[in-house]
Structure 1
Amino acid sequence: MLDAADATLAVRARDGDVHAYEVIARRHGPLMRVYAARLLGSELESDDVVQDAFLTAWRRLADLDDPSRVRNWLMRIVSNKAVDRLRVRRDHDDVDRLEVSAPRHETPERVVEARLQLDAMWAALDKLPLDQRRCWLLRETADYSYADIAEALDLPVSTVRGKIARARTFLITEMEAWR
């Protein structure tokens, strides 16, 4: 069952096969977590959002029109759940952001420089409008095609291309100091 295509698993899950749905969840859950964490800026919240997305997807499997597109359908659900969470979220400290010690093979200076660069990148991403950030993250972190992003976010492909182009231009400008 682990080697089965998404479409086969989705059809079996729709028929009530819990094991097939578990395989889908294990296959696509890590991507959904990374995407939600980057949108929300919190590992803790991303786990809640992904879990909520999987519950919603399980209840709405009958609404899945094309079983071969189950990944995009799940990403759309997790995206919507993350945006909902952003709308109602209260600011709080995230204990998961505590610094961990640097690996022994890296000098403290290199670790600090890499962390500062990464922080600058996430700060720049946070400045992007939400739709541009969502498009950019799907393209750059999940390697989605423009068509897949358009489908996942329910946008025209031309709009996705424009949003990604504007996001890239903005990020290049923001990260100029790190060249």
Structure 2
Amino acid sequence: MLMNTKSLVKIDRTDRRILEALQQNGTLNNQQLAEQVGLSPSPCLRRVKALEDAGIILRRVTVLDHKKLGLTLTAIILISMDRHTPERFAAFEEKVIGYPEVQECYLITGQDADYMLKVVVPDMDHYHHFLLNQITRIQGVSGVHSSFVLRRVLDSTALPLGYLGTA
């Protein structure tokens, strides 16, 4: 498997500590972050800015408790397409990106499906409506297989940084 090493950014041990701290708590202000990683505030701010400029830090988000908001049903949907053309895939992706119920969308291989979606809705009635009135109406969708999450065992947004080499 070929990998484009030109797009990889070298990070050192301090950068990794900054990234790990921010993945655990994106609300840390610069002073708190600097104290946590053992830097003074100015160098810490410069490093965070450099990580943002390099495209490593894409954005900071707030993770919400879906159940407390009444979003109690999570579905994993495998979707098959009728034709494997760039135009068909682009049209599908453009549609699902606009659906707020879709949290994740992956073009996949190794299954009898082309896409895998993670969808969060209030209940089965809402899922049924979403499936029949949105997903199955997308041109090119030829098959849908739904699975429902019974329990979240692990739900993390953090990337594993411990194995990365340091510069």
Normalising by the smaller structure, the TM-score range is under 0.3
Q: Between Structure 1 and Structure 2, which shows a larger proportion of strand residues? A: 2
TM-score (normalizing by structure 2): 0.26
Instruction: Give the number of the structure with larger relative contact order, counting CA–CA contacts within 8 Å between residues 6 or more apart.
Output: 2
Q: Between Structure 1 and Structure 2, which shows a larger proportion of helix residues? A: 1
When Rg is computed on C-alpha atoms for both structures, the one with the higher figure is: 2
TM-score (normalizing by structure 1): 0.25
